[in-house]
Amino acid sequence: MAVYEILSQQNGDAEYSYNGLLSEYLEQETELPDAIREAFAQIAEAEPDTRIVCNLKGAVKLDAISNRIIHYRDISKLEGNPIVYPFILYSKGEEADRAMLVVPYEPYGYLYARGYYYCLSEAGSQFYDVRNEVLEVCFDNSADIVNSWNRLKEEKAGMIQRQLDRRQFRNYDNLKEQAMAAAEALKKDAAEILLNVQERSELIRYYIVRWFLLKKVLYVQYMVNKNIRSSVHEGDIHKQRNQARINADEVPILSYRQMWTVGHEEEAE
């Protein structure tokens, strides 16, 4: 099944806030980041048949090998479909379908976009066989969003993605530095915000997912790096997998229990 079919004909248990023509979505949605609204408007005008699915909810594949290796138990405590994919543009082409995951711009947003992709395309998911048809972007300007979408007409998503990777991080060590900084920022943010919140369920869910996305990026990006496998691990994929797990485990977090007890430490004692 092609990516257009998967996105346009979701299963009955799929959850999303909108799935239809991009032009119609823009008519009814008023709260969008400026760069995204401008880009979407240009795309809808140039290609009226472009469709979009918003806030598509996805499950965490707990039976997948990568999840077992990451050892992030807190993600298994979240019920339902905790991964929420912000925007996915898609269209049917003469030769191939196109799909582009668009994440609103923020510091380290590209890492989250990559994490979303690795969750979306995980082995066993309905998108696994079409993973090479999906591009993910996070830009603070409309021109880059539109340009990326247009490039998908002529270029493979994987080639474009590798170029975007090189724009965002020099190598794996630089990627890891960014992921650790992003995780620390989340940890600081969570400790401060949760202190003044009584009903914490949704916020805790949000933070757990965000840390999971960063862990996912660190694990998968390490595993797909053939140069690391040959130069660091002498071609031994088992050693590479073990180090990938260690890298993911190093992501600084607040545990599920810690987030519930922030501000209530004396009561917990």
* Residues 17-53 as b or e (16 or more Cβ within 10 Å = b): ebbeebbebbeeeeebeebbebbbbbbbeebeebbbb
Instruction: Report d(CA 245, CA 30) in Å as an integer.
Output: 42
pLDDT one-digit tens code per residue, 110-136: 999 999 999 999 888 889 999 999 999
Query: Do strands 51-58 and 98-102 pair parallel, antiparallel, or not at all (unpaired)?
Result: unpaired
Assess contact for 91 and 97: CB atoms under 8 A.
yes
pLDDT one-digit tens code per residue, 156-190: 999 999 999 999 999 999 999 999 999 999 999 99
**Amino acid in position 28:** Q
pLDDT of residue 265: 59
> Structure pTM?
0.93
pLDDT of residue 65: 42
Q: Please name the residue that has the structure tokens 């019920």.
A: 79
pLDDT of residue 11: 54
Residues of the chain scoring pLDDT < 70: 10-14, 63-69, 265-269
pLDDT of residue 73: 86
**Amino acid in position 86:** P
Query: Do strands 134-137 and 51-58 pair parallel, antiparallel, or not at all (unpaired)?
Result: unpaired
pLDDT of residue 59: 87
pLDDT of residue 79: 87
